[in-house]
């Protein structure tokens, strides 16, 4: 009897998408942004809560430090992850209601385009702070 | 696909996701993009947290963010065929981790909220 090995068991399952088409990329980006965001939110809670508990002077110093160009640019990456994850999440909820499944590719591209627009808008809005230093 | 994943976890993941879209929209706009050259201070957060809207938004972000993030992590872990016992351990581990972080984050929020006239 043919027995698939451990690697083959996972192929083309949510554990390991393999078909290399639009839906796979929607899924891969959702998962990567999900990993990034879950890591970020606990870092965020830790830093904000710790500095707030330590008092106004510490909090203000931390906020001043985080207002540097490097962190403002990292914030834009955060916008990319959040906007894509949120829009693709809405896409997935629509599918749960049976809406838009046959337009899943167009909805993926709509999510990508809106994410790009949000990133450009964020960059334009925050550029005075980035280049003002 | 995953019997043990639970209908409630599935349902609440989506409800929390929708809530986060709105709360994060407000949070990002107000804290980062409405006036990007201004540096956030303890005082400005203290004033903001005197309005009901931001009390609701910030507590929503803390609770829904922790739940949605950790439940998403649980979904990913459950994509790999682990035993029922391991799934239970993962769930409890994430619950303890999440509750701990919620309490810590709540301390942080209370730190902003307790001094009214800062």
Which one of A42, A58, A82 makes the best mutation probe of the B interface by having the most chain B beta carbons within 10 Å?
Answer: A42
Question: Is the torsion defined by CA of A35, A38, A43, A48 positive or negative?
Answer: positive
Asked whether residue A63 is domain-assigned, the answer is yes
pLDDT at A133: 57
Asked whether residue A106 is domain-assigned, the answer is yes
Q: Number of residue pairs across A and B with CB atoms under 8 Å?
A: 92
Are the Cβ atoms of B105 and A49 closer than 8 angstroms? yes
pLDDT tens sequence across B66-116 = 999 999 999 999 988 789 999 999 999 999 999 999 999 999 999 998 866
Q: Does B69 touch chain A (CB under 8 A)?
A: yes
Distance (Å, rounded) from C-alpha A96 to C-alpha A111? 17
Can you give the residue range of the structural domain that contains B52? 3-114
DSSP per-residue codes, A53-82: HH-HHHHHHHHHHHTSHHHHHHHHHHHHHH
Asked whether residue A113 is domain-assigned, the answer is yes
Encoding tokens for residue A63?
């906020």
CATH number for B17: 1.20.1300.10
Question: Is the torsion defined by CA of A38, A43, A44, A48 positive or negative?
Answer: positive
The answer to whether A127 and A73 have CB atoms below 8 angstroms apart is no
pLDDT tens sequence across B20-54 = 999 999 999 999 899 889 999 999 999 999 999 99
Domain tally for chain A?
1
For residue A13, the 8-state DSSP code is B
pLDDT in single tens digits along all 133 residues of chain A? 677 777 777 777 777 787 888 999 999 999 999 999 999 999 999 999 999 999 999 999 999 999 999 999 999 999 999 999 999 999 999 999 999 999 999 999 999 999 999 999 999 999 999 998 5
The residues on A that touch B, with CB distances below 8 Å, are 9-10, 13-15, 31, 34-35, 37-38, 41-42, 45-46, 48-50, 52-53, 55-56, 59-60, 63-64, 67, 72, 75, 79, 82, 86, 89-90, 93, 96, 122, 125-126, 128-129, 132
SS3 A50: helix
pLDDT at B1: 45
Distances (CA, A) of A106 to A30, A68, B52: 16, 38, 39
Q: How does residue B117 score in pLDDT terms, banded at 50, 70 and 90?
A: low
pLDDT at A10: 75
SS3 B38: coil
pLDDT at B81: 78
Asked whether residue A14 is domain-assigned, the answer is no
Distance (Å, rounded) from C-alpha B28 to C-alpha A51? 20
Domain tally for chain B?
1
pLDDT at B65: 98
Asked whether residue A6 is domain-assigned, the answer is no
Question: Is the torsion defined by CA of B32, B69, A40, A118 positive or negative?
Answer: negative
Can you give the residue range of the structural domain that contains A39? 27-131
pLDDT at B114: 80
The answer to whether B67 and B11 have CB atoms below 8 angstroms apart is no
pTM: 0.91
Are the Cβ atoms of A126 and B14 closer than 8 angstroms? no
Encoding tokens for residue A121?
């808008």
CATH number for A75: 1.20.1300.10
């Amino acid at each position: 009897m043919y027995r698939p090995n451990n690697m083959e068991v996972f192929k083309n399952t949510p554990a390991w998408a393999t078909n290399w088409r639009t839906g796979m990329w929607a899924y891969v980006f959702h998962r990567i942004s999900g990993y990034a965001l879950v890591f970020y939110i606990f870092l965020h809670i830790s830093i904000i809560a710790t500095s707030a508990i330590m008092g106004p002077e510490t909090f203000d110093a931390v906020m001043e430090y985080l207002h540097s160009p490097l962190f403002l640019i990292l914030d834009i990456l955060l916008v990319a992850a959040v906007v894509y994850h949120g829009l693709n999440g809405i896409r997935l909820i629509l599918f749960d209601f049976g809406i838009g499944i046959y337009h899943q590719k167009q909805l993926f591209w709509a999510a990508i385009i809106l994410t790009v627009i949000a990133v450009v808008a964020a960059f334009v809005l925050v550029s005075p702070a980035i280049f003002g230093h | 696909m995953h019997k043990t994943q639970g209908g409630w976890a599935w349902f609440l993941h989506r409800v929390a996701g929708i809530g986060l879209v709105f709360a994060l929209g407000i949070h990002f706009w107000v804290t980062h993009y409405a006036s990007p050259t201004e540096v956030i201070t303890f005082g400005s957060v203290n004033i903001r947290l005197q309005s009901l809207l931001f009390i609701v938004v910030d507590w929503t972000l803390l609770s829904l963010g922790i739940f949605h993030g950790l439940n998403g992590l649980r979904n990913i872990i459950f994509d790999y065929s682990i035993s029922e016992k391991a799934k239970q351990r993962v769930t409890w581990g994430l619950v303890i981790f999440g509750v701990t972080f919620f309490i810590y984050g709540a301390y942080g929020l209370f730190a902003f909220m307790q001094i009214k006239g800062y």
